[in-house]
Amino acid sequence: MADPSGVRARLWDGSTRIVHWALVVLVAFAWWSAEAGKMDWHRLSGYAVVGLLAFRLIWGFAGSASARFASFVRGPAATLAYLRSLPGRAHADMPGHNPLGAWSVLALLAVLIAQVVTGLFAVDIDAIEAGPLSDRVSFDTGRLLAKWHHWSFSALQVLVVLHLAAVVFYRVHKRANLVRAMITGRQDFAQDPKLTFAPLWRALVVAAVAAAVAWWTAKGFRP
């Protein structure tokens, strides 16, 4: 809840928010299309996820302060200290992901990367549906990667459930509305954290690079 003496300041830039909500929609669509057997759509949504991941990874080094990995990834000591403060109702006035949330962000990104990489090599049992790199490996390896593709999806489902549970925990126990911040980009702070934000031109350059990565991946890295 807003601290009456505090300020509402900008936290997440537009790029981070667009990438987040686009991931939500596209991962859901990739799931649905795979279940419905619409594999052309499945691969297309997968390539779009490749582009979003490429953007987010570059943005983690070249983006706005709150999106940079160096600004939120903390070691075990800081994470443990944060864990100990979890039962309390006080919500740490942190301009970005907390040390525990940071690990869940990295885990989500890592599993999403595993999801798309295994998909690129996967082949189905009758070798009809396949990722664009499946011809670079044997059929057995393609089948093994299809199995890993299923496993990583199970891991992703577990992480997303934990992710949503964390959001509800913060809403109910800590009275912090993280979802509103991920939608509007603004959060309440005791004091303005005075974060720096990357300019739009940089987001456009990174988006162009990410789109090229997705395009090239869809072509199986062939010229």
Judged by the rule CB under 6 A, the positions of this chain that interact with ligand HEM are 16, 20, 23-24, 27, 30-31, 34-35, 42-43, 46, 49, 56, 67, 97, 101, 105, 108-109, 112, 115-116, 119-120, 122, 124, 129-132, 146, 149-150, 153, 160, 163-164, 167, 178-179, 181-182
**Residue number, 7 or 44, with CB nearest to ligand HEM:** 44
Do residues 51 and 23 make contact, with C-beta atoms less than 8 angstroms apart?
Answer: no
CB of 49 to ligand HEM, least distance (A): 4
- Residue with smallest beta-carbon separation from ligand HEM: 46
Taking alpha carbons only, the member of 103, 136, 112, 151 closest to residue 22 is 112
**Residue number, 7 or 114, with CB nearest to ligand HEM:** 114
Q: How far apart are CA 138 and CA 121, in angstroms?
A: 10
Do residues 63 and 20 make contact, with C-beta atoms less than 8 angstroms apart?
Answer: no
CB of 3 to ligand HEM, least distance (A): 16
**Residue number, 120 or 213, with CB nearest to ligand HEM:** 120
Do residues 157 and 25 make contact, with C-beta atoms less than 8 angstroms apart?
Answer: no
**Residue number, 115 or 195, with CB nearest to ligand HEM:** 115
Structure tokens at 185: 């980009």
Structure tokens at 61: 């080094």
CB of 87 to ligand HEM, least distance (A): 18
CB of 9 to ligand HEM, least distance (A): 14
Q: 137: which residues sit within 8 A by CB, 6+ positions away?
A: 121, 145
For β-strands 186-189 and 7-10, DSSP reports them as antiparallel
CB of 115 to ligand HEM, least distance (A): 5
What 3-state DSSP class applies to 7? strand
